[in-house]
Structure 1
Amino acid sequence: MRERSNRRCDRMKEGALTEREKAFVRFVFEGLSQREAYRRAYAARKLKDSTCDVNACRLLKNAKVRAYLAELNAQVDRQRVMDKQERMEWLSRVVRTPVGKVDEGSDLCQEATASEMGVKVKMPGKIEAIRELNRMDGAYEPEQIEVRSELSFGSLLKGLESSALVRGRKGTGGNKRDE
C-alpha cells in the first residue's frame, strides 16, 4: 500500500495527470457538463449529483487540470487559423478552378443568388488572387513614395513668433529681456 501511495506522490510531483483526470478534461472539452464528465471519467454512476458536482469542481480548480484544458483549447485555436501555406493553396485554387465548376457548397463560393434561371454563384477574382499570391511571395518591389514640400524647415521657423521659440528664465543665463 505504501509503495502505491509513493508512486502517486511521484506522479503528482512530476505534474502528470492520471488517466481519469485526462479523461475528465477531454469530456469537459467535448462539451459535457462537469457532472457528466466526472461520472464518465470515474465510472461514478451511483454517486449523488451533489457529490459529483463537488468533485468535478475540485478537479477544475486543480492548476494541472486547468492547464491541460487550456492546452486542448489552444490546439483547436491553432487549427482554426489558416497558416501561410493554406492561404496560398486556397488562392491557387481560386486561380486554377474554372468558373463553371464552383457551386454554392464550395468554399470558393462568395455569394449564391437563386432566380428562375437557376443559381448564380460568385467566386473571388482570379486577378486579385494572383496579386495577393505575388504579395505573399514578395514578388513586388517595395513602393517608394517621394514627399515634396514647397516650404522648407527654415521658412516654417520664420513664421513662428520668436517668443514661442525662446523662453528665458530669470537667473539661468537665458534671454536678458526676461530679467
Structure 2
Amino acid sequence: MAEKKGNVLTTKQETFVRELVSGKSQRQAYKVAYGCETWKDASIDRKACEMFANVKIKARYDELIAECNKKTLWTRERAINELVEMLRDSKEDKNYQARYNSIRELNTIVGLYPKETKEVELNINKPDKDNLKNLISKVKGVKK
C-alpha cells in the first residue's frame, strides 16, 4: 500500500487499483474489489469512475504502473547484457554460429530489422469465386 500518511488506501481501494494495473477494466476491478455483481453496470461504471478520479487512487495507480515499467525496462536491459556477454564469449571461442545468433538477436531486440509487410487489395464489392481465390493466393504470399 501507499506509505505516506493520509495516502493509505483501504483494502478495497488497493484491490481496485491492483486489478486495474493487472489489465482489468474499471468495471471489472470495481466488481472484484467491492463484490457488487448484482448491481447494474451503469451504477458500477459510475462508482468506478468516481473512485478512479480520487487523487489517492490515481497516485497509487501511477506508482504501480511506474514500478511495472521499471521492471519491464530492467528485463530488457538484462536480456541485452546477457546477449552482449554471449557475443564476447563466442568471439573468444571462435564460435561463429553463436556469434551470429547473438548479433541477430540483439538487432531484433533493439529494432534494427523492419517488420515485413505486404499490402493486399480486397474488392468486397464482387464476392465471387474468382475474387475469393485471388484473395487467398495473395494472403498466402504474405510472410508472417
Deviation at 1:81, TM superposition (A): 2.1
Taking the aligned partners of 2:99 and 2:82, their CA distance within structure 1 comes to 16
**How does the TM-score come out when normalised to structure 2?**
0.56
1:93 aligns with 2:90: no
**How does the TM-score come out when normalised to structure 1?**
0.46
**Structure 1 unaligned blocks of 5 or more:** 1-12, 112-122, 125-179
Letter of the structure 2 residue corresponding to residue 110 of structure 1: R
- The structure whose RCO (Cα within 8 Å, separation 6+) is larger is 2
1:26 aligns with 2:57: no
Letter of the structure 2 residue corresponding to residue 81 of structure 1: L
Local SS of the residue matching 1:110: helix
1:57 aligns with 2:49: yes
Matched length: 97
For residue 41 of structure 1, the aligned residue among 16, 33, 36 is 33
RMSD: 2.8
**Structure 2 unaligned blocks of 5 or more:** 108-144
Higher helix share: 2
Deviation at 1:110, TM superposition (A): 1.7
Taking the aligned partners of 2:99 and 2:33, their CA distance within structure 1 comes to 45
Taking the aligned partners of 1:26 and 1:99, their CA distance within structure 2 comes to 46
Rg larger in 1 or in 2? Answer: 1
% of aligned pairs identical? 28
Higher strand share: 1
Taking the aligned partners of 1:76 and 1:53, their CA distance within structure 2 comes to 26
Taking the aligned partners of 2:61 and 2:45, their CA distance within structure 1 comes to 18
Deviation at 1:88, TM superposition (A): 4.2
